[in-house]
Amino acid sequence: MPLPLYLLALAVFAMGTSEFMLAGLLPDIASDLDVTVGTAGTLTSAFAVGMMVGAPLMAALARDWPRRSSLLWFVLVFAAAHAVGALTTSYPVLFATRVVAALANAGFLAVALTAAATLVPPDRKGRALAVLLSGTTVATIAGVPGGSVLGTLLGWRATFWAVAALCLPAALGILKGIPAGRDEDEATGRPALRAELAQLTRRRLILVMLLGALVNAATFASFTFLAPVVTESAGLGEWWISVALVLFGAGSFVGVTVAGRLSDRRPGSVIAVGGPLLLIGWPALALLADEPVALFILVFVQGVLSFALGGTLITRVLYEAAGAPTMAGSYATAALNVGAALGPVIAAATLDTEAGNLGPLWASGLLVAVALLMAAVVAGSYGSDGGKS
């Protein structure tokens, strides 16, 4: 894999740390800013909404910019938003910084996904995407738990400062590793924006985007509220939150690796095997949440399954949107973040029910069940395993 791909993954690591880190910081943020944990959980939704709206918007605005310039500006705006977030004492201001950071993240990821696909041969998009998304999975393994530990020791604001600092070497890597100017393929033979947007009328593309949104909604519904499950349902101390996050992150790394190997050639197998297992896993986690060993094993397994399916589906979006070379990455980003926005909102609504802290886990199971119903339609559209149209 080319070096620029790994430099993009470094920036994705910083952004992935920010996107996932609130799972371990929500109780402290809620206490410091005098809001409920459910309200604090909407910070995750704010970020996801910014990603969802920002992906196509930023990609459309940046399609005429050189890739290095757009990637660099997105990283710098992202860092500035975190600096403001670390300084504010106002929840609305913090909420606004999450939206701004998400817009920058969305623009970066939309451009980076498209760039990654052009750095490798056409039949290796899945492998390239796995390298790029490894930045997110490493964030869940190291960045997010590290942020949780840092937040426990120095307060949640220190974690925001750390994310801002991580953006600086990422920006330097973009300056050194991404060529200046415009690629030849960007300058010639590119479809008009209207033609690229018209790809969204394709049924198969919409089906895969919706399926990816549902799977990601299930992932974020439970991941966002994992901390209360560890400390209250399992009765463990705050330090065990970091253990759970590390296990989920390790699982996600395995899942993305599996997706990278199989999503180009055998997407149907990943969906057919991983989908039912993911469906079983969320209710099982709810039922066994008071058993720490079972809890941690299932957290790892759900990380594997969630990211194997998610990685496969985002790769399929890139294949299905091949007729939109500058916008395909934004379609994938928007689809996944529709789920990331809805998941925490749905999960938060379950916290005041009889299910309590386990409500998000049951909600995840329901979301995956809906996804599996749609998967039958998608599988029929793809055929058995080939599925390359």
Q: What is the pLDDT of residues 188-214, one digit of tens each?
A: 556 777 888 787 778 888 888 888 899
More confident residue, 379 or 366: 366
Please state, in angstroms and as integers, the Cα–Cα distance from residue 267 to each residue in 4, 64, 263, 303, following that order: 27, 33, 5, 18
pLDDT exceeds 50 at position 160: yes
Distance, in Å, from the CA atom of 115 to the CA atom of 117, rounded to the nearest integer, reads 5
Sign, CA torsion 212/214/219/225:
positive
Token duo for residue 35? 């809001």
Can you give the pLDDT at residue 272?
A: 82
Highest mean pLDDT among 38-52, 129-143, 200-214, 276-290: 276-290
Average pLDDT of the chain to the nearest whole number: 81
Can you give the pLDDT at residue 385?
A: 46
Closest CA to 314 of 145, 136, 140, 175: 136
Model pTM above 0.75: no
Closest CA to 315 of 240, 382, 238: 382
Can you give the pLDDT at residue 91?
A: 92
Q: What angle do CA 118, 62, 199 make, to 5 degrees?
A: 65
What mean pLDDT comes out for the span 272-300? 92
Tally Cβ neighbours within 10 Å of residue 273: 15
Tally Cβ neighbours within 10 Å of residue 182: 15
Can you give the pLDDT at residue 387?
A: 45
327 touches 321 (CB < 8 A): yes
Token duo for residue 362? 């049951």
Sign, CA torsion 349/350/352/353:
positive
What is the percentage of the chain residues whose pLDDT exceeds 70?
86
Sign, CA torsion 25/31/33/35:
positive
Can you give the pLDDT at residue 259?
A: 72
Distance, in Å, from the CA atom of 244 to the CA atom of 193, rounded to the nearest integer, reads 43
Question: Torsions phi, psi of 72, nearest 5?
Answer: -65, -45
For 23-76, write each residue's pLDDT tens digit: 678 888 888 998 888 888 888 778 877 877 777 888 788 777 787 888 899 999
144 touches 23 (CB < 8 A): yes
Closest CA to 147 of 139, 91, 10, 220: 139
Token duo for residue 273? 């095997």
